[in-house]
């Protein structure tokens, strides 16, 4: 059997075949899988000896028990991958991202791990003496560090372990404990007697071993206390300190509707809201596009047009066209009929980004392979293809005037292009990890980006300079959305939260909790204060401001 040909048909089809043939051990030894898109692929027990997986996307992949001896995984994305009991002997893992990966009992003898990121990886039973000296100083594992009994998680001593250049990522129990403690202290200090009783509170917390909350400092080790040179950042930056009065008066978004996806649908990787009507469209892991009544929660129709996961959606300003991006290309549909009008192909890699120009004459697609493709929607012809980025294209956004567009990439940059000619106008640099999401304000003056470096940046689009960096998330930022009046920014993260920001000031207004897994997509309605978020918990949540009339029209329909 040609396993490589099967894998190239798409991860969904591969995983389906693996589930139907659980006892078969696929042989992909020596296969050229450079830059392959293998997100959440089931590669358990697979023979990958000598395979070329350089720059491959293996985020969340199951590689348990796989034989990766002598394989090249340089610069590969292995975040949260399961590599337990895998053989990585003589493998090249240089500059690979293995953050939060499970490497329990993996064999790493003679592996090249120079520059690899093992942040919060599970390393129990893994011998690291042979490779620890190769690691980057910021990411080096402290060999011989202690682990709690019965725990699989690697737990280096707090004072001795090198720190990451990124914000610290705490375990879910720790995050919940910190949120609870922060909320409780805030309420405590609002009382008239709160500041008087603060010394007593401190003594009580010390006596009850506050360390069990897994806070970022040790109260028993003075050497571990933060200093002015410490890299660990507080949740609230100096320009974002809590204003107690503002917290009480800021309007809050409230949950209006929860849409539960069918089990077979998988994760909702993209959501979009239509203008002038209560219609929500979702793109799902099963390759289907679903449309819902956003007010009633009723599923109206399903478009079964893709053979791979739908990663991106865009609805035209008229509400009469829908574009969808997937591993099998880009498709354009008529709405509300659901009739397929165009099917476009790119570089054989999944399209993680699509956008339709305001005049509906151009369609921009961004591919995991790093190319940007622009088609003419009036004729269906290819306009041009760009290869200016050196990493995957995660997001694209078109300027409201339709003259330019921006692209966000895994190469840590944002590029601004002339839509008509394809010429590059400027490159925005500043993020320290992949730029995963981008949006342009309705007035065209501001660009917002979210990155795997856990920050949101607000840029002046005219000059290309950073106005502000927002550091409220504790994990990678996956999605950002702007309200139609340009006043509100909402960011969604792998930390399961949605942060609501005032765009002009950069002030954090609120945190929306409720999702129980990564927040991976979001969208505002283009003409109403309605907001939707999608998560790997397989729900779509619809939110409205508490102090507003439901669904007010901001822009009258033509």
Q: What is the pLDDT of residue 164?
A: 34
Note the helical H segments in 191-287. Answer: 198-207, 244-249
Q: Which residue has the higher pLDDT, 357 or 95?
A: 357
Write the pLDDT tens digit of every residue in 16-66: 899 999 999 999 999 999 988 898 899 999 999 999 999 898 988 999 999
Distance CA 92, CA 99 (A): 16
Distance CA 218, CA 451 (A): 29
User: What's CA 127's distance to the chain center, in Å?
Assistant: 31
Write the pLDDT tens digit of every residue in 318-377: 999 999 999 889 999 999 888 999 999 876 788 999 999 999 999 999 998 899 999 999
Percent of the chain with pLDDT over 90: 59
Is residue 225 scored above 70 in pLDDT? no
Q: What is the pLDDT of residue 469?
A: 98
Is residue 244 scored above 90 in pLDDT? no
Mean pLDDT computed over every residue of the chain: 80
Q: Do β-strands 279-284 and 382-386 pair in parallel, antiparallel, or remain unpaired?
A: unpaired
Q: What is the pLDDT of residue 547?
A: 53
Domain 1-156 identical in fold to domain 254-545: no
Distance CA 118, CA 133 (A): 13
Choice among 144-158, 267-281, 326-340, 429-443 with the minimum mean pLDDT: 144-158
Q: What is the pLDDT of residue 127?
A: 58
* CA torsion, ordered 320, 325, 331, 337, to nearest 10 deg: -40
Q: Which of 34, 54, 29, 329 is CA-nearest to residue 43?
A: 29
Q: For 142-167, what is the mean pLDDT?
A: 31
Q: If DSSP states are collapsed to H, E and C, what string results for 196-207?
A: CCHHHHHHHHHH
Is residue 510 scored above 80 in pLDDT? yes
User: In angstroms, what is the C-alpha Rg of the chain?
Assistant: 24
pLDDT band at 538 (very low <50, low <70, confident <90, very high): very high
539: its two tokens = 């729900």
Fold designation for 1-156: Pectate Lyase C-like (2.160.20)
What are the boundaries of each domain within the chain?
Answer: 1-156, 172-232, 254-545
Fold designation for 254-545: Methylamine Dehydrogenase; Chain H (2.130.10)
Q: In b/e form, how buried is each residue of 526-555, taking b as 16+ CB within 10 angstroms?
A: bbbbbbbbbbbbbbbbbbbbeeeeeeeeee
Angle at 440 between CA 434 and CA 445, to 5 degrees: 120
Per-residue DSSP letter, 8:
H
CA atoms within 13 A on the CB side of 537: 19
Q: Which residue has the higher pLDDT, 332 or 167?
A: 332
Q: What is the pLDDT of residue 533?
A: 98
């Amino acid at each position: 059997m040609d396993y490589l040909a099967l894998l190239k048909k798409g991860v969904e089809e591969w995983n389906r075949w693996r589930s139907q043939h659980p006892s078969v051990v696929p042989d992909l030894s020596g296969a050229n899988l450079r830059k392959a898109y293998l997100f959440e692929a089931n590669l358990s027990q697979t023979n990958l000896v000598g395979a070329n997986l350089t720059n491959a996307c293996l985020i969340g992949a199951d590689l348990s028990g796989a034989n990766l001896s002598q394989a090249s995984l340089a610069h590969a994305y292995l975040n949260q991958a399961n590599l337990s009991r895998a053989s990585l002997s003589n493998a090249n893992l240089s500059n690979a991202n293995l953050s939060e990966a499970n490497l329990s009992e993996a064999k790493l003898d003679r592996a090249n791990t120079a520059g690899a990121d093992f942040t919060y990886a599970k390393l129990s039973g893994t011998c690291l003496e042979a490779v620890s000296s190769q690691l980057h100083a910021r990411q080096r594992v402290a060999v011989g560090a202690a682990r709690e009994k019965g725990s699989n998680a690697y737990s280096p001593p707090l004072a001795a372990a090198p720190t990451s250049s990124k914000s610290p990522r705490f375990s879910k129990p720790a995050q919940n404990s910190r949120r609870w403690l922060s909320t409780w202290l805030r309420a405590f200090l609002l009382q008239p007697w709160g500041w008087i009783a603060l010394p007593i509170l401190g003594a009580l917390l010390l006596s009850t071993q506050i360390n069990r909350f897994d806070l970022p400092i040790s109260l028993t080790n003075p050497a571990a206390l933060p200093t002015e040179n410490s890299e660990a950042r507080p949740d609230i930056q100096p320009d974002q300190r809590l204003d107690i009065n503002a917290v009480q008066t800021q309007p809050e978004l409230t949950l209006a509707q929860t849409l539960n996806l069918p089990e077979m649908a998988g994760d909702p990787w993209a959501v979009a809201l239509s203008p002038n009507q209560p219609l929500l469209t979702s793109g799902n892991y099963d390759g289907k596009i679903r449309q819902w009544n956003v007010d009633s929660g009723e599923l109206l129709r399903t478009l079964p047009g893709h053979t791979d996961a739908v990663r991106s959606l865009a609805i035209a300003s008229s509400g009469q066209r829908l574009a969808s991006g997937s591993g099998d290309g880009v498709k354009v549909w008529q709405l509300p009929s659901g009739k397929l009008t165009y099917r476009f192909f790119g570089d054989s890699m999944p399209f993680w980004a699509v956008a339709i120009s305001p005049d509906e004459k151009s369609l921009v697609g961004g591919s995991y392979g790093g190319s940007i493709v622009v088609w003419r929607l009036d004729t269906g012809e290819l306009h041009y293809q760009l290869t200016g980025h050196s990493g995957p294209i995660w997001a694209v956004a078109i300027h409201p005037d339709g003259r330019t567009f921006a692209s966000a990439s895994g190469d840590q940059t944002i590029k601004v292009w002339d839509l008509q000619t394809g010429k590059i106008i400027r490159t925005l640099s500043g993020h320290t990890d992949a730029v995963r999401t981008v949006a342009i304000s309705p007035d065209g003056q501001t660009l917002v980006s979210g990155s795997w470096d856990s920050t949101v940046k607000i840029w002046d689009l005219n000059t290309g300079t950073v106005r502000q960096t927002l550091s409220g998330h504790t994990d990678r930022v996956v999605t950002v959305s702007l309200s139609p009046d340009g006043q509100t920014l909402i960011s969604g993260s792998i930390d399961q939260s949605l942060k609501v920001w005032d765009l002009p000031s950069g002030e954090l207004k609120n945190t929306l909790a409720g999702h129980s897994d990564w927040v991976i997509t979001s969208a505002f309605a283009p003409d109403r204060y309605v907001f939707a978020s999608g998560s790997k918990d397989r729900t779509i949540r619809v939110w409205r401001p508490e102090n507003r009339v439901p669904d007010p029209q901001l822009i009258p329909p033509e």
